[in-house]
Amino acid sequence: MSATRLAIATPSTSVYSETFIAAHLKELKEVVLVLSDGMPPRLANGRPLYESGDARTRLRLKLEQRLRGWDTRTVQHQRLVELLKAERVQVLLAEYGPMGHALVDACRDAAVPLVVHFHGYDAHMHSIAEAAGGYRRMLDAAVAVVVVSRGMETRLLQLGAAKERLHYNCYGIDLQRFTAADPDKAPPHFLAVGRFVEKKAPHLLILAFAQVAARHPEARLTIVGDGALFGACQQLVNALGLGAQVDLTGPLDPDEVAALFRRSRAFVQHSVEAPSGDREGTPLAVLESMACGVPVVATRHAGIGDVVEHEVSGLLSAEHDIEGMARNMERMLAEQGLAGRLGAAGRACAERDHVLDGSIAGLQRILDRVSK
């Protein structure tokens, strides 16, 4: 049986902030068309949409635009429909809810089944709820909807998703890249990885670490990533006098991140619900930490609680509980053998439930099942 001819539509192909999408592009079978750069997309396989296809088709579209008075959006829609047909696409995977919403009509007119993959903000932000009417149309049209946390599953049911078309398929990790470490032998260093945005609350993590550093001056914190709050967090580090103990590295490639995991006592993340309603799905860095056998110190937020069991593979505290987070971080420094025990349980969980090949296979099965 031949592989399903797949189109993937994604706002971005960045390997730094959206590693999971890069994995879909690389690992899913028979990706014949990649639509990107905007919602709806403006690029097809890296080229402007209007430059895709043969010269005869482009000329015909220009003539039709003039004769019928089509606006740019209509021409773009027509080009998308023709591309999907020309590439004989059998199913389209839309990364993020708004992308799925933008492509409902193109998929309908090209008779291509639409699968929408939610990742986090796209299910939870208040502005999404306000536009729920548009989402309901998309959720009715999609042949499958994929989520990465149980809380997201509940949220989409509330927004009108059909339970029988809703699929939980969490991310997976490349265990060859993120290999097992020995956190008990690591220095008293904490690692955080993620964008500097409200829902990841790096400023609250820094405040928690400040309490730890006051009692453990040998402790260190490294935060990898960038984003809107990066400058403010650097100012906070300096204002707290933590410049020698906190390192904000900016973005690093996955191999550099994997090396940092292997030199860390614990992974830390203080995720919260943002004022906009934005929430995590299941943070990929949490799964990477588990894959490395490094214990997770985090908040009970979104999908974190789906994959991290308190006192088994990590330590969890409530959102905004800075003192509780600090206490859990200090336990990693003070209790002999704790980091190793929790980290080993996390690695075992990753090997059992969160291998990249297994996650990709699960998504591939969904796509194959609904393809035309």
Per-position b or e across 8-42, b if 16+ CB within 10 A of its CB = bbbbebeebbbbbbbbbbebbeebbbbbbbebbbe
Considering the domain boundaries, does residue 69 fall inside one? Answer: yes
Q: How far is CA 56 from the centre of its chain?
A: 40
- Residue 59 pLDDT > 80, yes or no? no
pLDDT of residue 3: 83
Residues 285 and 328 in one domain: yes
Residues 158 and 194 in one domain: no
d(CA 101, CA 73): 15
Residues 152 and 16 in one domain: yes
Task: Give pLDDT tens digits for 323-344.
Answer: 999 999 999 999 999 999 999 9
**Could you tell me the two tokens for 153?**
């599953």
19-33, 77-91, 218-232: range with highest mean pLDDT? 218-232
CB 49 within 8 A of CB 86: no
Q: Which segments of 314-369 are extended strands (E)?
A: 314-317
Residue of 3 and 191 predicted with greater confidence? 191
| Short-list 311, 297, 304, 251, CA closest to 279 | 304
First to last CA, the chain: 14
d(CA 241, CA 247): 12
Considering the domain boundaries, does residue 177 fall inside one? Answer: no
pLDDT of residue 70: 60
Task: Give pLDDT tens digits for 258-270.
Answer: 999 999 999 999 9
Counting the structural domains of the chain, the total is 2
Residues 128 and 194 in one domain: no
Residues 24 and 121 in one domain: yes
Residues 60 and 92 in one domain: yes
Residues 156 and 285 in one domain: no
pLDDT of residue 49: 80
Residues 93 and 230 in one domain: no
Residues 358, 363, 369, 372: is their CA dihedral positive or negative? negative
Considering the domain boundaries, does residue 254 fall inside one? Answer: yes
Burial of 309 (0-12, 13-18, 19+ CB in 10 A): middle
Task: State which residues form the domain around 272.
Answer: 183-353
Mean pLDDT of 136-150: 95
What angle is formed at CA 34 by the lines to CA 26 and CA 258, rounded to 5 degrees? 30
Tell me the C-alpha to C-alpha distance, in Å, between residue 273 and each of 69, 179, 225, 279, 327. 46, 31, 19, 5, 21
Residues 134 and 224 in one domain: no
Residues 141 and 204 in one domain: no
Considering the domain boundaries, does residue 121 fall inside one? Answer: yes
Q: Which segments of 313-358 are extended strands (E)?
A: 314-317
Residues 347 and 361 in one domain: no
Residues 158 and 230 in one domain: no
Q: What percent of the chain has pLDDT over 70?
A: 90
Considering the domain boundaries, does residue 1 fall inside one? Answer: no
CB 233 within 8 A of CB 195: no
Considering the domain boundaries, does residue 187 fall inside one? Answer: yes
Task: Give the sheet arrangement for strand 314-317, strand by strand.
Answer: 246-250, 220-224, 189-193, 266-269, 296-299, 314-317
pLDDT of residue 13: 67
Band of residue 68 on the pLDDT scale cut at 50, 70, 90:
low
pLDDT of residue 16: 46
CATH number at residue 94: 3.40.50.2000
Task: Say which residues have a Cβ less than 8 Å from residue 148's Cβ, sequence separation at least 6.
Answer: 118, 119, 120, 168, 169, 170, 171, 281, 282, 303
Task: Give pLDDT tens digits for 277-304.
Answer: 999 999 999 999 999 999 999 999 999 9
**Could you tell me the two tokens for 123?**
């299910």
Considering the domain boundaries, does residue 109 fall inside one? Answer: yes
Q: What is the pTM of this model?
A: 0.87
d(CA 158, CA 359): 25
